[in-house]
Structure formats: C-alpha cells, structure tokens
Chain A
C-alpha cells in the first residue's frame, strides 16, 4: 500500500481540473462519498467491470509493495465464486423459498412457457438432425438465458503478495480512509487513480456489505496483523471489527487482502485473463498464480505465470514539478507547503530546471511587486496568476527522464518471449521526451508468429507498466499501428502474419483520455511520433531477419520452384516448333537453312518435348548448384545468436529431495 498516498492527490488534482464547477460541492462530500457516487470513473461501472478493476487494483498494489523493498514479486490471486445460498449464510440471512412466484420479474407466464418449450423442442430437433448428418454441432444457442434482475453473483477476491506489508497500527487508516496526501512531488506510479484497495472496499460495502479482511506482516516482525474492517462512507473513517496480532509461523512478509464483492465472471473472464497475461508480459520478473474457484469444478481455472528473470527495473524516483507543467492550484499548494521559504528559494527548490540564476531572472521579469527575498506566503492570488503566466511563457530546459522507470528492453523482450513464444521479436527503447513538462519514454516490441496469437495485428498497450484493455479504438498505439505503419515495406503481411505490437509508455503523468482513463489520445503529436518511430525501429530490425529467412527459404525451394515451370515453358516452345514443322512439310512457308535443319530433327523426333525438358532441367540443376555454392560462401556458417536461459532459483528451505545415485551422476527429483 506504499504508493497509495501520493496518487490520491494526483487524482484530486485531476478531477478538480476537469470539473471545476463540481468542486464546490465536492468539498462538502467526503472523498469516499464522491467515489461511491461516481464509481464509473474509477472503473466500477458494472459488476463485471468492478470484479476486473478490483483484481487489477489489488495486483498493482501488490507489485508496488514488493518492488518498493526490491523484492521479486510473487502474487497470488484467487477469485472464488459464492453462490447465493452460501452468500446468504455468510451474512446470516436465511434462504427463503419464493411463495408468491408472480411477484418476481423472472416469473414465466403460461404462454411464455409454451413458447419456450416449442422453441426448445425445435432446437433439439435441429441438433439431432445435425448430429445425424455428421455436421459439427454448434453450441446450443438457447443456453443463454437472461439473468433475472437481482440475481447477482458474488465473488471472494483474495490477493496475497510478498511485499513490504503494513505497520500494525496504520492498517485501519490505510484502508478505511481515503486520505489526502501529506507528501508532494511527482512520480511515475502504476495506479491510475491511486485509490488502490479503498475503492474495492467501497464497492464491497455497496454491493455486499461484507467487511474486508487484511493480513499483513512486515520484514522482521514476529507476528501477523489480522484486521477486519469496513468503511463509514459518510464520515470517511474506518469501522474496525477486529484488529489483532497472530503468530507469524512462516516468517512471511507481505499482505493478503480478501474482499467479497458482487461481480460477473462470465462476461469479464477473458478480460481478467488477458489482464493477467499482459501483466506477465510487462513484468517478467514477477511470479503470478491466478486461480478461479467455482462451485462447478469444470469451470475452475488455474494459471501460473512463471518468473523469467530476476532483473527488476529501478524504483521510480520522486521528482519535482517542471515549471511548464504546473497549474494555479498546484502553485498554491506548493506555496502553502513551503511557507517558510523566500521566493527565490521556493523557485529554486520546488521545481526542476530552475537554478538560482534563472530564479533571479524570473523574479525580475515578474515585475516590481516581486522581490527575491519576499516570503512566499505573502504572495497574493493575483501574483500567483502572474507566476503561472510566466511559467507558461518562459523557456525552460526539458525535464530529464531519469525519474522514470521503464520496463526496459530486456524485460519487455523476455516478457514477450515468455508469454507468446513468437518466431521473431524485436524491441526498441526510445529516449526520454517531453510533453507539457512531463517526461515520457516509449518502448516498443514487435513480434511475428507465436502461440495463441491471432492472425493480423494484436495490440498490447501498457501505460506506466500496467496493461490497458479497454477503448482500444481511439488509442494512439492502435491508430499508429493500424494506420501509420506500412507493414508491407518491412515484408510483414498485415492480414496474414501473426503480429504482436507491444507499446509501453511511462511518464510522470500519462495523458489519459475517456472517463475510465482507459486510453491515450491520438491528438498528442509528441507521443504519436515517438510511438511511430519506436514501432518502426522494431520493424527495421525484423525486416533484416525476415529477408534473411526468405532468402534461406528461396535457397531451399529454388530448384523446386524453377522445375515447376519446365513443362509449361518447353511445352509452349515445342508447340510452335511442331506448327512450324507442319508448315514446312506442307511447303506453306519457306524457312532458312538452319531453321530447316532443326525442323527436320523435330519431324524425325530427334528433338521432342522430352529432350527439351531434360536439357532445361539439366540447366536448372546446374544453376541451382552454382547459386547454392555462392550463397554458402557469402553467408558463411553463421548461427543465430543464442538466448540465455533462465533457471529458477530453488527454494533453499525445502530439502525433501529424492536423490537417485548412479556412478556417473545424481538424479534429483524436485518436489
């Protein structure tokens, strides 16, 4: 939960900027209330999406937590389906049979039932017919019965990590209160809203009313904190049911969060699985275990995404704001926070790329009302506007990208190879660039071929190292890959080949579009250009590989593809010769001497179609041999560069090996 505080305020800033009209009403509401009422903007539009968002918030928190202590993340996510009767017993409600059936929405009238039965009978008839005629049976279409209103499904979502854990006393506040931050500054963060598990808690409160359960232990603690709590939305304070210490038998550190919410697995199953898979691509140094447990065992899902590397990208560094990126509200807040400083100190210390010299020049430019040694707190609101205007107009050096933590070409490449097993892959990492005072880095990967990849272009988008799955159409990556890249010129077939396009953008502020912050707009030319050039760089790398491959294939198939045309060519030649011979023998046309000699050979069958074929085939063989020799001398004996393989570390604690000894080796079964 380490990263939670900072993004919370980023969000506040964003929302107040977006709808400044609402901000007056917003002040009177607790932040928790605000999000409860506008849950769609945090990705809780409907039960299905809520389940998805809950999973992603928990997973992203877990990763942040583990990375903050430089521990290779190990995340276990479990979604357990809870049927209604079980849910009722959980909340202590007795299952009641329906007495007045007509009261319910899904009540079936006599007529409707007749209709349905007729339809079902017809369907089964068709099915039987199809079966008899040996046709492949389609999924019976009637199975999709509309779910009646109020027939909600409930899920218990558990997420366990090996991260930092949380201090015993802070846990209630970390979950039960939507905090406003105390820190300021700017940092590349995973969360899009920074609400983390709090939003999931609000959702559980709204849909099931069941409390959240947290177990946590920090490194070196000999106890595990167990806490059960829910949130008082109106007062924005935690409501603690249980808060106790238990023995830490496994010497575990990290957090385990369990929440029961309403959801919809059937409609969001593929989204959640895609999310996990793409997360595994972008974080190959993490280990994920995903489980879905259902009442009906055949629906169960267990997927393990294994670790492929132990190289982790560095933790993003907190940086100060760039003067061209701040707005009035932010200036005001920064001034309040740094009230003790003088103006020159404020400018120099609170922003990047302003040194003492520049600060003095800026103050001089602001006008006679300003002086370097005036206290910042005495700056009036009008003067703030002046500062803001000057920040907009003055020229500053671009912020450096040092504060960013891109996935890294190495990791991106590994991730792609690990999850897609492509035939070919190329990656490229661009240099840091700037959009509105925020640095950003674009990394791209392009793969061709692979397992479970559809034909055509498959796009994988990542922003600050989390996958983006929704609203693909308007996204800058989608548009660029589909419209602005001429795949043909890289010898890639846009419709036939299995192409994977991976683009990861990291920034201190990702310019998201849309209510759910699900895509990056196509209207920012800096980002669009960077994305295009990154993809193109990958394509250029691939092209040389593809060309080599085509050449090699041509080598192998040359003789065959040449020989294929021998009958057609010799046939045509012989046809003309035969006609000529006829003309010659019937004396309809006179030929020159050398031609006559040849035609006579044709008529005496010394030259036949077969002789032509044989001679041409001989020539093809000769040419093929010469060219093969030339190819071999040119390309030499070169081998593909080898990939290093990654061997998982063995857990040193487990020692229950079975060793099979032989005189030359030891065979060890690892259980």
Chain B
C-alpha cells in the first residue's frame, strides 16, 4: 500500500514538470472530441459517397474500373485445387518443351522498380505487365529456374496434402539448392506472381512478427481471442488470415506503432483502457500477415488508423508500405494495403512544437538525406501536401528523432501527455 502511495505521489510531482501537461484537457473531454470527429467523418463518408477518394465506406475501386487490367497485373486468392491445376499446367508445358528438345523457360513477371506504377485513384502501387524470360540454358538464370521448378513441385505437394508450412520450412527442404533463405523467398514471390495467386493461397506463411493488443475480439481458427486479456505482450497476429474472423470492437481508433519499444510502453500503461483503441505493431517493416490483419480490421470495423512512427525517412517509408504497399509485393497490393492512414507523429514539425531537446535529436546521415529526397519524388508522398511539407522540413533541418526521444521527458511522457494531446488537437495528417 505504502509503495503504491509513493508511486502515485511521485507521478503527481512529475506531472507538474511535464511540458504541455497544463493544456491537456481531461480524458472525458478528449473522448468527447474524438467521438464527434468519428461520427462526422463517418457521416461525411456516407454523404460524399464514392466521390471522395479518402472515404473507405464506398465500394473500393479496382483496376478494371480504371480499365488498367490489361496493362497491370494483379493476383487473386485462389483455391487450393486451382493452384494445383495452375502448377500442373505449367509442369505439363515444361515437360512437353523438354521432350521436344527445346529445354524450358519460365516467363516471370518482373518485380523491378521500373515495372511498378503508383495509381493515385487507388492510392497504391500496382505491378505493370512486363515479364522476363528465365531460360534454363543460360548461366545467369539456370539457378533461379531450377529453384523455381523445385518450389513449384513443393507447393504442388502442399496442395495435395492441404497443409501449411512456413517459408523457413520450405527453405529447409533443400538447403543445398537454395543456399540461403532470401533466394527461396524471392522465388516464392515470383511463383505466386507467375501463377496469379496471393502468397497465402500457396499455403506458405511467414513466421509471426506482428502483435496486437487492445479493444479487439476476434476468432483465430475457431478460438475466441480477447485482446484486452492477452497480458502485456499482446496477441501475436496469426499468419494465416483466412482463419481470422468475427471481429468485434468498441475501440475508437487503431493505433499503428512502428516500434516494439513504444508498443510495450503503451501496452503496459494500458493506454487502450484510457482511450479505447487497438494497438498494432509489426516491429519495423511490416510483414504480410500484419498488413492483411490491419486491412481486415480497417475494412470490418471501419475505424480511423493513426500511425506513430519515427521522424525519419524510414518511418515514413514504413507508413507508406502499410498505406500503398511495397514494391516487392505490389502484385498483391489490393489485399495488402490499408487506405487512409493518418500520420499522427512523430512528425518533423513536432520536434520544435514539443520542444524536444537537442541532445535527443540526431543529425541525418548523407544516406538519410538522400532517402528523404528520393521519397519527395515518390507519388504516394506527393499526393498528400501535408506530408510533403513535413518531409521538406526534415530534409531542410537535417534532423531526425525516434519515438524514444520523447522519453527525455520521462518514460511515460508518450502515453501520459504526447498521445492524449495529439488526440485532443486531432493533430494528424
């Protein structure tokens, strides 16, 4: 008891020192503000109909709507049997070609940067239709062709047996040929692209990376999961999205966190109980499962998504991967991207706004500045003038800061002051 009292007192003392604490309204007021924001944005979406691109409630546009389906490539979820048939068709073709004495080759859609296209109407990156030929009888491609053949055979087996394996499992079936996991992983993406199906439909999953905690209840393979009762670490996001369903939530928003450290802070402080929300992190660059999960949440629960990332070019890059997709998996961007993510912080303008001390800011390296400048050329940044302004400021000041920079005001500054204040001011872009 005495201990508890002491802690409470020290907390109060600290509170007086915390900058901006005084302008923070009470939690009830903030909640009220949030509620009105959400209802207004929902009604605006309803009223605006399909006109506003940001409205998530309208039926999403597809490539076909834009008559781009011929020049762009997109994959779909396929059933196991159709994957099996697709593989068999390819194999039969190959066999015929070998028997005719012509060797064989694969036509693999190119996933190079030059074959990517940002479609502003869709607000995501899509893959163009360029393909490269991978002949067996060429020194430069013989390895990849062989690996592709092998992966096709392995996936054929998975289809027959109807089981899931991880990418690591797949790699270990023939370590001698694959040599290192990045090779088998890359070919796996090629194969799903080639067969025109999502990677999940190949029955190959990645190890769990993302975690979720907060006001969310869903079923994972039939078990009901309550994410408020998952302890401090939260629930690992299941790698297989088709087993996830029945999402329910009383949250007001989804908080997307770039890093583990900030996630742990928020989870331990039970931030989601103070402001009803769902907290998600993929611990850095997001994996497929986390992206699928975020999209599913957004689509089913219709909640605004607020992102808390580092104030550096990579933070924004991660944000863009959630929002518009990565170039590596652009063929499946329709399923992997979450529209309308708001950039809550830490934004370059916050550094001065919240008087983050000099010693917590880091100078940007040459590489950072170059990345920043390159990002300014990217379409998904350009479409949001607010982002361009922030990024310009970052490149100009040549300063970056991590979320942890806020800890200079105390470890709990993030959950006690910064986030509530941001919510109160609805300060997101």
B87 within 8 A of A: yes
Tell which of B96, B137, B143, B157 touches A620, judged by Cβ atoms closer than 8 Å.
Answer: B137
- Interface residues on chain A, size class: 20 to 34
Q: Are A607 and B99 in contact (CB under 8 A)?
A: yes
In the complex, chain A residues whose CB is within 8 Å of the CB of B91: 573, 576-577, 580
A591 to B160, CA, bound (A): 15
Tell which of A558, A573, A580, A622 touches B149, judged by Cβ atoms closer than 8 Å.
Answer: A573
In the complex, chain B residues whose CB is within 8 Å of the CB of A619: 98, 101-103, 136-137
Q: Are A572 and B150 in contact (CB under 8 A)?
A: yes
Tell which of B146, B157, B160 touches A565, judged by Cβ atoms closer than 8 Å.
Answer: B146
A569 within 8 A of B: yes
A598 to B99, CA, bound (A): 11
Tell which of A562, A573, A579, A618 touches B101, judged by Cβ atoms closer than 8 Å.
Answer: A618
Say how far A588's CB is from chain B's closest CB, in angstroms: 9
Say how far A587's CB is from chain B's closest CB, in angstroms: 15
Q: Are B98 and A616 in contact (CB under 8 A)?
A: yes
User: What residue in chain A is nearest B87 (Cβ atoms)?
Assistant: A576
In the complex, chain B residues whose CB is within 8 Å of the CB of A573: 91, 94-95, 98, 149, 153
Report whether over half of chain B's contact residues are helix, strand or loop; otherwise say mixed. helix
Contact with B along A544-565 (1 / 0, CB 8 A): 0000000000100010011001
A568-B146 contact given A576-B88, A619-B103, CB 8 Å threshold: yes
Please report the total number of B residues contacting A with Cβ < 8 Å. 30
A594 to B91, CA, bound (A): 13
Name A588-617 residues within 8 Å CB distance of B.
591, 594-595, 598, 607, 611-612, 615-616
B1 within 8 A of A: no
In the complex, chain A residues whose CB is within 8 Å of the CB of B174: 568
In the complex, chain B residues whose CB is within 8 Å of the CB of A576: 87-88, 91, 152-153, 156
A430 to B354, CA, bound (A): 54
Say how far A21's CB is from chain B's closest CB, in angstroms: 38
Name B322-357 residues within 8 Å CB distance of A.
none
Q: Are B139 and A558 in contact (CB under 8 A)?
A: yes
| Residue in A558, A579, A611 with the greatest tally of chain B CB atoms within 10 Å | A579
A561 to B149, CA, bound (A): 17
A554 to B88, CA, bound (A): 34
Name B158-194 residues within 8 Å CB distance of A.
160, 174, 177
Q: Are A579 and B160 in contact (CB under 8 A)?
A: yes
A575 within 8 A of B: yes
A623 to B102, CA, bound (A): 10
A570 within 8 A of B: yes
A622 to B101, CA, bound (A): 9
In the complex, chain B residues whose CB is within 8 Å of the CB of A598: 92, 95-96
Say how far A20's CB is from chain B's closest CB, in angstroms: 37
Contact with A along B200-214 (1 / 0, CB 8 A): 000000000000000
| Residue in A577, A591, A607 with the greatest tally of chain B CB atoms within 10 Å | A577
B142 within 8 A of A: yes
Say how far B94's CB is from chain A's closest CB, in angstroms: 6
User: What residue in chain A is nearest B135 (Cβ atoms)?
Assistant: A623
A623-B88 contact given A572-B153, A573-B94, A579-B160, CB 8 Å threshold: no
In the complex, chain A residues whose CB is within 8 Å of the CB of B98: 570, 573, 612, 615-616, 619
A554-B102 contact given A572-B153, A573-B91, CB 8 Å threshold: no
Say how far B14's CB is from chain A's closest CB, in angstroms: 46
Say how far A103's CB is from chain B's closest CB, in angstroms: 60
B228 within 8 A of A: no
A573 to B95, CA, bound (A): 7
A-B contact sample (13 more), CB < 8 A, given A565-B142, A575-B157, A616-B98: A568-B177, A569-B136, A569-B145, A569-B146, A570-B98, A573-B95, A573-B153, A575-B156, A598-B95, A612-B95, A612-B98, A618-B101, A619-B102
Q: Which 3 pairs from chain A and chain B are nearest by CB?
A: A619-B103, A572-B153, A623-B137
5 examples of A-B residue contacts, CB within 8 angstroms: A565-B143, A576-B87, A594-B92, A619-B103, A620-B137
